[in-house]
Structures are given as structure tokens and as C-alpha cells.
């Protein structure tokens, strides 16, 4: 990708076994989801997060749709999730006829404030969707305790958390079922791709069936349930396997990039930087986010415009679910307020964070940030 001197926000690293494995797909003619890389990638991901089963799908959004469908939640069932997340999470819940119930973010870690979950539980609450945001995991121990106490299912959205751990235990190993995304801005990519991981044989079987149109083994074109075509191709899985081989190297690099940014930006006034470590995890800096202090008179959009003029790409933070026009039109979240999520959306943005970024580009991006904050 040649972008001149513009520093891109995300560029993947594809210089391991990617080319060899892709050539193998072409040489053998295995390009569909029937090819051998799919199973190898599924087994590799499951092993990496200490789960029994991996089920590869075509993207992270599809993985969430499959997870909600596999759990057999009923229309009207309530699922608790953070207000501050990507729309895929709430969309998967709404499409099944279930009701998304929001909690606000912790303003320091940017993850869901687990302390707010219990007050949102009603007799209709059936599940919690725990979404790890930007680099640090959700504080899982209290969340697991609440789920146990109220007999709730857990969907863990680890779309951004490849290679992260919570108290030493891999993200992707919590709850009934966990999902990953392999979009190119993630720590590992398959171009487009996703994965479900679980220890539950029945859930794994349901996910395999749901991703493949619920074809039945005996009578292929006779269907008991509506499924999806969410299959991952051998070509995507070939890329994924090559990326997985380097995951711990990638995490090491991301942490060094995060530390370098932190060193360069820690003295800059008016900015909240990502938390580098808590007592349960060290950030893997999926993205390097910045939040403008309230005393800065302009917002994240203006910061992005100013950085763009200095040839530094940025992306806005998520826009909260209760402020999504599509959900408001459906009558959802009316009158609800989540001040921490609203503030993150308006004052937060992230700067170049991709694995292909050089230290020199990080220094240039950081000095551009310093420049706009003067």
C-alpha cells in the first residue's frame, strides 16, 4: 500500500507464511470452505485460547449472529451489553427479536462498567455480552459471578482481543461461547473473517450447522431451522493460520508500540491516554486511543481534521448504541443516557496503530498530536 507520507491508521503485516499457504490453495485447487486450512485454523485458534472447538465464519459480525442464534434465546429475552461498542453486538441481539439492555462504560478503561450490570437484571434477562474494548479486557471475575448468581449465559466478544489474557487466562476462553474477528485492522487478519470458540459440544455443532444453512446430514435440502451461509474459505483460513503462527510476536510488537506512544505523549496536556495495565491485564493496544479533556474546547472530529492536515490518519471511537438512529426509530433506548459512553464517542479517537507502523512513523504521529494540542 503506497500512501506517500500519509501515516495510515492500520496496515497489516503479511510477511510470514501467508504467500506459501495461499500458493498451496491455488496449487491444490482448494479455495472453498471444504479445504484443509479451515480445520487447521479452527484447531489452531481453539488451542490458542484453550477451547475445545473453533468454528470459522466469514466475519466477526457473522460470528456474533451465529452465537446468539446458537444459544436459542427467545424473542423478548433481554441481553446486557455495553452502550459503547460496535453495532454488530446489538444488531445480533435485535435480529433474533431479543432486547438489548445497555450499561455504561468505565471512563478509565473504556470497557463496560461491570458494577452497573446487576441493577439492569430483570426476570427476562438471559445473557450478558461481554465486549472487550480497544486493548484491555472487561473485568471478568465479577461479571462471571453475576452470571452464575442469576443463571445467565455469557457471550464473550473477543473480536479485538487475540492474544490477550485476563489474570493469565486467554480472552476467548470465558463464558458459553466467544467470538473473534479477523478484519485487517485486527491483530491477526484473514481479509474478512471470524471465529466462534466454545467448549460445549452441542453449541459447537449448532454453530457448524447454522453457518452452513442448517443442511441436514441425512437429507441435505430439507431444513428444520433457518441458517446462514457464513462459511469461511480455505483462502481466508490459509492467511489466518500464517497470522496465528506469529500472534505472540505481533502482541509483543503492539505492546512496544503502545509503550512508545505512551512515552511520547505522556507529557502532552489535554489528553487522556489508554491505561497500560490494570491488576488483571496489560493492554495489547488493539488501537491507540486518545480522549480529549473537557477543558479542550474542540472535539474528536476537529482533532481528526487537524491531524489529517498533518498527514496522520485517525478513526473516531464507537458511537453508543442508545444514540443510533436505527435503534431510536425502533423505539429502543428512549430517554436513556450513558454519559461515559457519550463522552468517549465525542472526545475519543485513535491514531495510527497498525502492525506495519515503524517507530519513525509513531514518532511523527506523536509529534503531530503534540502539535495540534499546543
Ligand X SMILES: Cc1ncc(COP(=O)(O)O)c(C=O)c1O
Binding residues (CB under 6 A) for ligand X: these are 59-61, 64, 85-86, 88-89, 131, 157, 159-160, 181, 183, 194
| Least spacing, CB of residue 186 vs ligand X, in Å | 7
Q: Which is nearer to ligand X, 64 or 344 (CB)?
A: 64
Q: Which is nearer to ligand X, 117 or 179 (CB)?
A: 179
**What stretches of the chain show up as alpha helix (H) in DSSP?**
18-28, 36-48, 60-70, 87-95, 140-149, 201-211, 234-244, 247-265, 300-309, 325-329, 339-347, 359-372
3-state class of 195 per DSSP?
strand
Measured CA to CA, the distance from residue 343 to residue 322 in angstroms comes to 13
Strands 288-292 and 125-131, sheet pairing: unpaired
| Least spacing, CB of residue 73 vs ligand X, in Å | 18
CB 188 within 8 A of CB 241: no
Strands 53-57 and 78-82, sheet pairing: unpaired
Measured CA to CA, the distance from residue 58 to residue 181 in angstroms comes to 9
Helix (H) or strand (E) holding 369: helix 359-372
| Least spacing, CB of residue 134 vs ligand X, in Å | 9
Q: Which is nearer to ligand X, 130 or 372 (CB)?
A: 130
Measured CA to CA, the distance from residue 278 to residue 209 in angstroms comes to 39
| Least spacing, CB of residue 223 vs ligand X, in Å | 25
Measured CA to CA, the distance from residue 211 to residue 61 in angstroms comes to 12
Q: Which is nearer to ligand X, 81 or 290 (CB)?
A: 81
Q: Which is nearer to ligand X, 174 or 183 (CB)?
A: 183
> All 3 cell numbers of residue 43?
484447531
| Least spacing, CB of residue 93 vs ligand X, in Å | 13
CB 130 within 8 A of CB 174: yes
CB 77 within 8 A of CB 99: yes
| Least spacing, CB of residue 133 vs ligand X, in Å | 7
* b (16+ CB within 10 A) / e for 205-243: ebbbbbbbbbeeeeeeeeeeeebbebbbbbbbbbbbbbb
Measured CA to CA, the distance from residue 239 to residue 22 in angstroms comes to 7
Q: Which is nearer to ligand X, 54 or 60 (CB)?
A: 60
| Least spacing, CB of residue 249 vs ligand X, in Å | 22
> All 3 cell numbers of residue 157?
466478544
CB 182 within 8 A of CB 18: no
In the bound state, the residue with its beta carbon closest to ligand X is: 60
Q: Which is nearer to ligand X, 138 or 366 (CB)?
A: 138
Q: Which is nearer to ligand X, 100 or 265 (CB)?
A: 100
| Least spacing, CB of residue 266 vs ligand X, in Å | 26
Q: Which is nearer to ligand X, 135 or 364 (CB)?
A: 135
| Least spacing, CB of residue 194 vs ligand X, in Å | 5
Measured CA to CA, the distance from residue 201 to residue 57 in angstroms comes to 17
Amino acid at each position: 500500500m503506497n500512501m506517500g507520507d500519509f501515516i495510515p491508521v492500520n496496515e497489516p503485516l503479511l510477511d510470514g507464511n501467508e504467500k506459501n499457504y495461499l500458493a498451496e490453495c491455488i496449487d491444490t485447487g482448494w479455495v472453498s470452505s471444504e479445504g484443509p486450512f479451515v480445520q487447521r485454523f479452527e484447531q489452531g485458534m481453539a488451542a490458542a485460547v484453550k477451547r475445545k472447538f473453533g468454528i470459522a465464519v466469514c466475519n466477526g459480525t457473522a460470528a456474533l449472529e451465529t452465537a446468539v442464534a446458537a444459544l436459542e434465546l427467545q424473542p423478548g429475552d433481554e441481553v446486557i451489553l455495553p452502550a459503547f461498542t460496535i453495532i454488530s453486538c446489538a444488531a445480533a441481539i435485535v435480529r433474533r427479536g431479543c432486547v438489548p439492555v445497555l450499561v455504561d462504560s468505565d471512563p478509565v478503561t473504556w470497557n463496560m462498567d461491570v458494577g452497573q450490570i446487576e441493577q439492569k437484571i430483570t426476570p427476562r434477562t438471559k445473557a450478558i455480552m461481554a465486549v472487550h474494548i480497544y486493548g484491555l479486557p472487561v473485568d471478568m471475575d465479577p461479571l462471571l459471578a453475576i452470571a452464575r448468581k442469576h443463571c445467565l449465559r455469557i457471550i464473550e466478544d473477543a473480536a479485538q482481543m487475540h492474544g490477550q489474557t485476563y489474570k493469565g487466562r486467554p480472552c476467548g476462553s470465558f463464558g458459553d461461547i466467544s467470538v473473534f474477528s479477523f478484519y485487517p485492522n485486527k491483530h491477526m487478519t484473514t481479509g474478512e473473517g471470524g471465529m466462534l470458540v466454545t467448549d460445549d459440544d452441542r453449541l459447537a455443532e449448532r454453530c457448524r450447522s447454522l453457518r452452513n444453512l442448517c443442511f441436514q446430514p441425512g437429507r441435505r435440502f430439507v431444513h428444520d431451522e433457518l441458517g446462514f451461509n457464513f462459511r469461511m474459505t480455505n483462502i481466508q483460513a490459509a492467511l489466518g493460520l500464517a497470522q496465528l503462527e506469529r500472534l505472540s510476536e505481533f502482541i509483543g510488537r503492539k505492546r512496544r508500540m503502545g509503550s512508545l506512544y505512551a512515552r511520547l505523549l505522556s507529557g502532552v496536556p489535554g489528553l487522556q491516554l489508554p491505561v497500560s495495565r490494570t491488576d488483571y491485564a496489560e493492554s495489547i493496544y488493539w488501537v491507540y486511543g486518545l480522549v480529549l479533556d473537557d477543558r479542550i474546547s474542540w472535539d474528536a472530529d476537529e482533532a481528526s481534521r487537524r491531524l489529517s492536515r498533518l498527514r496522520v490518519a485517525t478513526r473516531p471511537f464507537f458511537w453508543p448504541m442508545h444514540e443510533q438512529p436505527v435503534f431510536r426509530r425502533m423505539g429502543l433506548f428512549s430517554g436513556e443516557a450513558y454519559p461515559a459512553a457519550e463522552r468517549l464517542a465525542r472526545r475519543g479517537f485513535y491514531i495510527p496503530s497498525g502492525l506495519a507502523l515503524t517507530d519513525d512513523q509513531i514518532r511523527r504521529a506523536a509529534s503531530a498530536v503534540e502539535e495540534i494540542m499546543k
